[in-house]
Structure 1
Amino acid sequence: MPAYQNREVDALAALSSREFLAVLAYSVGVERVTVEIESCESNVGEARRFVRRQLGCWGLPEGDDLADRVVLAVSELVTNAVLHGRTRPLEETETVGVSLALKRDFALGVMVADNSCAVPLVKIRPSVSAISGRGLVLVNALSAGWTAAPRCGREGVNGKAVWAFIECPQLATLPELLPQPA
């Protein structure tokens, strides 16, 4: 690997979650997609399928290591949102938002939004026999970082968004995916 590429990777590793978020939320040339799914455990698979389809549209084949990491991170974040972010009674419909933001040659951001204002907590050392409590530990291992922020609307704070950032300097702009002149 040429020396300049090592410096590029080192620079990405040194970015904070705020810096990743700033680039993916406000930078020019970021591709974004969002879907709302009903907040129930049976729909976590729907979120995974949405992400796989979109990653394929962006040029990441199924089975690619980066694609697998993104899908697993989304699965964990959506599961957390469904299990811990619900604020309405089960008989009422509630949704979870799943968004992807891609800045080619830089990073891919995954955002999962729910209606709870509770800050997500990482279990430092889940017990070996525990059947839950590893979601954010996995997200942390799969990503360059993650963060949570209040989600604000017209009525003030109405939930939170949890972001995970996954470096993808190898995902360059693919000419065949860009709009062609008529």
Structure 2
Amino acid sequence: MKSTTHPSQPAHERRAPGQEFDMRFTSTPRGARLARRLVSHRLHEWGHPYNTATNDTVTLITAELAANAVRHGHIPGRDFHLRLTTDADADAGSATIRIEVTDTRTERVPALASPSPDAEAGRGLLLVAALATRWGTTPRVAAPGKTVWGEVDV
């Protein structure tokens, strides 16, 4: 796990550029749940408190991407990787939070679908597309797999 914070500052003042949280999780529902919880906690530490629009939005995007990695990107014995970063633009007074979830399946590229109204699944990427400022997929260069990412401008 790699994380960069500034512990001498109170949580509500920590919005420095270059913050990063990086961790591997087991490709199980428990791993996806832990990823979601740790992202919410990390955002809180970085100055985006629990139960705020930013924390809730980024946490929901993380939950959907992690669940998809477990459900559709799982290969037995392989973990998924989560990376959360912030990039602040001091001149513009804004920041971008980026969520990246990497799995080891190359043949299953995510795509938006229109599930039937009574379908019990299939809306995760629709939520990501609605909540994220930008999102997409990138193939892994060093090994088989892909990264699905989303960005939220704050």
TM-score range, shorter chain: 0.7 to 0.9
Task: Identify unmatched segments of 5+ residues in structure 1.
Answer: 1-28, 169-182
CA distance in 1, matches of 2:82, 2:133: 19
Q: Deviations over 1:92-120 (max 9, x none)?
A: x3211111110122210000000011211
Deviation of 1:35 (Å): 1.0
State the one-letter code of the partner of 2:26.
Answer: E
CA distance in 1, matches of 2:20, 2:148: 16
CA distance in 2, matches of 1:106, 1:46: 25
The answer to whether structure 1 residue 95 and structure 2 residue 84 are counterparts is no
Instruction: Tell me the TM-score normalised to structure 2 length.
Output: 0.82
2:102 aligned residue (69, 89, 113): 113
Task: Identify unmatched segments of 5+ residues in structure 2.
Answer: 1-16, 89-93
State the one-letter code of the partner of 2:112.
Answer: V
Give the match for residue 122 of structure 2: 133
1:66 aligned residue (37, 49, 54): 54
Taking only the aligned residue pairs, the percentage that are identical comes to: 32
Q: Hey, which bits of structure 1, 4+ residues long, moved more than 3 A?
A: none
Q: Deviations over 1:124-161 (max 9, x none)?
A: x21111111001000001111201011121xxx41000
State the one-letter code of the partner of 2:149.
Answer: W
Deviation of 1:121 (Å): 1.4
Q: What's the secondary structure of 1:71's corresponding residue? A: helix
State the one-letter code of the partner of 1:55.
Answer: L
Q: Choose between structure 1 and 2: higher helix proportion.
A: 1
CA distance in 1, matches of 2:26, 2:32: 9
Deviation of 1:49 (Å): 1.1
Instruction: Tell me the TM-score normalised to structure 1 length.
Output: 0.69
State the one-letter code of the partner of 2:127.
Answer: L
CA distance in 2, matches of 1:81, 1:45: 12
Aligned residues: 132
Higher relative contact order (CA 8 A, sep 6+): 1
The answer to whether structure 1 residue 144 and structure 2 residue 119 are counterparts is no
CA distance in 2, matches of 1:150, 1:83: 18
Give the match for residue 81 of structure 1: 69
Q: What's the secondary structure of 2:62's corresponding residue? A: helix
CA distance in 2, matches of 1:57, 1:71: 14
The answer to whether structure 1 residue 31 and structure 2 residue 19 are counterparts is yes
Bigger Rg, which one: 1
CA distance in 1, matches of 2:31, 2:97: 23
